[in-house]
């Protein structure tokens, strides 16, 4: 009897920890709750280790990820897989066997807040393997350096170096890649890097080969407004909570994480900030850039006075290499045809939707692929153990778009 009672108590406690009220429209809520409970457990353990001085919280999380998720480069009957380097940056290469003599080419940057994950993870390995096979494409998954050991602009420089090498005649010839059918892509923080790389290289007239496409998966593109409608609507929706995104930004930019409350209050973008011109503010004015169905009932939060020291300590907040949404229209207009995936239940939804509008205003052809039941990160959870339905659907649609346009 005591054993049954103890079991009931433990089960109730577990259910209490796992249960989280979620919006009614989110795909497979119980799967998302379980995933979130697992993530929260790891995050809390890493916070304890950090507070005790055992190790940095990010190092512990990455050790766990490596132990659970990273796999060796293994070829299969359809795809040859190898680990190499691209422009001096570690890269996993997926080459389809057979097919056409000249292949399409995709360089891919993984997500993880510029601090976590790897292209060697099982989820990214599965994704890139499927892309290589379905598209008859050489896919290069880049392992750029990670925070806190490397901070901006290190990740950007790695992504840029790998992309320049990818577009070089030597690499294109070695892997039999068609120079007219190449794409830069990435998800979340990797989408940020892909957008920044596309902007930089499209403005480089010295290049003889450039990207035909940019494909951005729920990208993070700005850190000046943490009160966009999607940040307000999804502040408590897993797996990317609003405070976590602010912390990722500060870690990426090499800033003091004690500034997190100031970012979350929008004190760093108050009207008394001399560094923020009206031109910069207009590039993330969601009241003008978002359609009414996304603005909903939400109101902008703009402080009259704020904390001037934030912009003084972290000027990278307005560096377009870190925040591609802030690029000039002329720069955007030179970037390639675009695909932007967004999810309704994602704090970053409006970053992507505003970028869609800004690209369109600059004359770029854009496909906006929005998932009303999607959540942040869903695409990389298409496979076991989660097997997300919206993840599988979004992944197939993303690959189909590449197939039709690359």
- Within 10 angstroms of residue 296's Cβ, the number of other Cβ atoms is 11
Strands 137-142 and 89-96: antiparallel
Lookup: tokens for 147: 């925070």
Query: Which residues 6+ apart lie within 8 Å of 72 measured at CB?
Result: none
Catalytic position from the list 143, 376, 388, 394: 376
Distance CA 234, CA 229 (A): 8
Question: HSE (CB half, 13 Å, CA atoms) of 307?
Answer: 16
Of the candidates 198, 218, 220, the one whose C-alpha atom is nearest the C-alpha of residue 210 is 198
Residue 104 and residue 233: Cα distance in Å, rounded? 39
Collapsing DSSP to helix, strand or coil, 80 comes out as: strand
For residues 386 and 37, the answer to whether their CB atoms sit within 8 Å is no
3-state secondary structure of 203: coil
3-state DSSP call for residue 224?
A: coil
Instruction: Select which of 143, 158, 187, 346 is catalytic.
Output: 346
Task: Check if 56 is active-site.
Answer: no
Sheet of 89-96: strand order equals 79-86, 89-96, 137-142, 103-109, 177-187, 213-217, 337-345, 366-375
- The string of DSSP codes covering 280-349 is HHHTT-HHHHS-HHHHTT------SS--HHHHHH-GGGG-TTT-GGG--HHHHTTSPEEEEEEEEE-TTH
Nearest 10 degrees: CA dihedral of 130, 386, 352, 251? Answer: -100
Residue of 27, 141, 185, 188 marked catalytic: 188
Name the DSSP class of 112.
S
Active-site residue flag, 158: no
User: Which residues, 6 or more positions from 299, have their beta carbon under 8 angstroms from its beta carbon?
Assistant: none
- Alpha helices (H) along 167-276: 169-174, 189-202, 229-233, 242-252, 260-264
The single residue listed with the structure tokens 């869609």 is 356
188 an active-site residue? yes
Preceding omega of 165 cis (within 30 degrees of 0): no
CB 86 within 8 A of CB 184: no
Instruction: Give the residue numbers marked as catalytic.
Output: 188, 346, 376
């Amino acid at each position: 009897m005591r054993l049954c009672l103890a079991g009931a108590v433990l089960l109730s406690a577990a259910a209490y920890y796992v249960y989280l009220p979620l919006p009614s429209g989110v795909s497979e809520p119980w799967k998302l709750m379980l995933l979130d409970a697992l993530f929260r457990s790891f995050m809390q353990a890493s916070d304890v280790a950090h507070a005790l001085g055992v190790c940095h919280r990010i190092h512990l999380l990455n050790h766990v990820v490596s132990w659970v998720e990273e796999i060796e480069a293994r070829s299969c009957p359809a795809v040859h897989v190898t680990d190499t380097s691209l422009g001096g940056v570690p890269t996993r290469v997926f080459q389809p066997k057979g097919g056409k003599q000249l292949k399409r080419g995709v360089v891919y940057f993984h997500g993880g807040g510029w601090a976590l994950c790897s292209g060697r993870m099982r989820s990214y390995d599965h994704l890139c393997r499927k892309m290589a096979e379905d598209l008859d494409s050489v896919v290069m998954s880049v392992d750029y350096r990670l925070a806190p050991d490397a901070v901006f602009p290190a990740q950007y420089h790695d992504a840029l170096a790998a992309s320049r090498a990818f577009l070089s005649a030597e690499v294109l010839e070695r892997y039999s890649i068609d120079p007219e059918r190449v794409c830069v892509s990435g998800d979340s923080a990797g989408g940020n890097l892909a957008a920044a790389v596309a902007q930089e290289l499209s403005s480089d007239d010295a290049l003889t080969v450039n990207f035909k496409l940019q494909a951005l998966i729920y990208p993070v593109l700005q850190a000046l407004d943490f009160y966009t409608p999607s940040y307000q609507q999804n502040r408590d929706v897993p797996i990317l909570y609003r405070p976590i995104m602010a912390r990722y930004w500060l870690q990426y930019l090499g800033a003091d994480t004690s500034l997190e409350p100031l970012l979350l209050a929008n004190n760093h973008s108050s009207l008394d900030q001399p560094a923020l011109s009206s031109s910069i503010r207009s590039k993330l004015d969601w009241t003008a850039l978002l359609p009414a169905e996304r603005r909903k009932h939400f109101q902008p939060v703009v402080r009259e006075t704020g904390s001037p020291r934030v912009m003084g300590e972290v000027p990278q907040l307005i560096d377009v290499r870190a925040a591609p949404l802030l690029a000039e229209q002329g720069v955007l207009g030179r970037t390639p045809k675009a695909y932007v995936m967004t999810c309704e239940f994602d704090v970053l939804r409006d970053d992507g939707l505003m970028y869609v509008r800004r690209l369109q205003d600059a004359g770029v052809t854009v496909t906006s692929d929005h998932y009303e039941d999607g959540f942040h990160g869903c695409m990389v959870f298409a496979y076991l153990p989660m097997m997300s339905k919206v993840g599988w659907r979004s992944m197939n649609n993303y690959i189909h778009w590449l197939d039709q346009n690359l």
